[in-house]
Amino acid sequence: MSDVSILTLLTNPRVFFESLEERPVSLLMPALFVIVTALISGVSAFQISSIVSKMMPELEGMGPLLGGIGAFSALVMVLLMWVIYTTIFFVISMVFKGQGDFGRLLSYVGYGFFPQAIGALVSLALSWSFISNLRVPSITDPQMIAEWTQSLMKDPSMQLSIAVGLLFLLWTANIWIFGVRTGRKLSTRDAVITVGIPTLLYIAYTIVTMVM
């Protein structure tokens, strides 16, 4: 199946991952998808961190620095999540007597970040206009800052952005199912359980955070 293209990953992930079984493990392309996702997430974090700095007069002029710290933290977090998700899938699949090495599974999970990169870009576009035109109040009380920031997350524009992100996460989860199925030699049912449990828990947590 050497003629399988990257587009097949989105349209027929089962065929895509089965074609990779014939090849040596490579982290180059999966890492690229993860890094692109991380960079886009970093831009979003830069915006949020810069907004927070504008609220506090004592931090005036430190917006770029705080934004840079936020962007770097987001980038590192996405890279960590790649490893964390892989570890979780690897451990859960052990219950189903999964076979296959961690490196190959890491590669397959990385491919699943392709839709995440697209979703992060769409979410950024949706929130960009809202955040760019936002009037930032001057606040000194940390509690009030937390309350104001929380109120932002209830804005329809921000909630739409989060909802879009969750939809793309479901698309990612579908790819992960076939990646775990192939990489750990599981049945489709066992792969669905392996991927579904942590993914649904994360989605539930995000939804609860949005409505509270």
Closest CA to 91 of 5, 161, 194: 194
CB 111 within 8 A of CB 175: yes
> In the predicted model, is pLDDT for residue 112 greater than 90?
yes
pLDDT-above-90 percentage for the chain: 51
> Which residue pairs, CB below 8 angstroms and at least 24 apart, start in 198-206?
198/85, 198/88, 198/89, 198/92, 199/169, 199/170, 199/173, 202/169, 203/166, 203/169, 203/170, 206/162, 206/166
**pLDDT average, residue stretch 189-209:** 92
Q: Is the pLDDT of residue 137 over 50?
A: yes
Give the span between the Cα atoms of 48 and 43, in whole angstroms.
9
Residue 136 has pLDDT above 80, yes or no: no
155 three-class SS: coil
> Contact, 154 vs 71, CB < 8 A?
no
* Dist. CA 65–CA 87, nearest whole Å: 33
CA 112 remoteness from chain centre? 10
Please write the tens of the pLDDT for every residue from 49-105: 666 666 665 556 665 676 677 778 888 999 999 999 999 999 999 999 999 999 999
Buried b (16+ CB within 10 A) or exposed e, 115-125: bbbbbbebbbe
Per-residue pLDDT at 1: 41
In sequence order, the 6+-apart residues with CB closer than 8 A to the CB of 71 are 42, 43, 45, 46, 49
- For 159-175, what is each residue's pLDDT tens digit? 788 888 899 999 999 99
Rounded mean pLDDT, 176-195: 97
Contact of 135 with 191, CB cutoff 8 Å: no
The larger pLDDT score, comparing residue 148 to residue 24, is at: 24
Tokens of 197: 């449990």
Residue 132: the pLDDT is 66
3-state secondary structure of 182: helix
Q: Is residue 22 helix, strand or coil?
A: coil
Say which residue, 71 or 28, is predicted with more confidence. 28
Cα dihedral 26/9/178/193 (nearest 10):
110
Please give the pLDDT value at position 106: 97
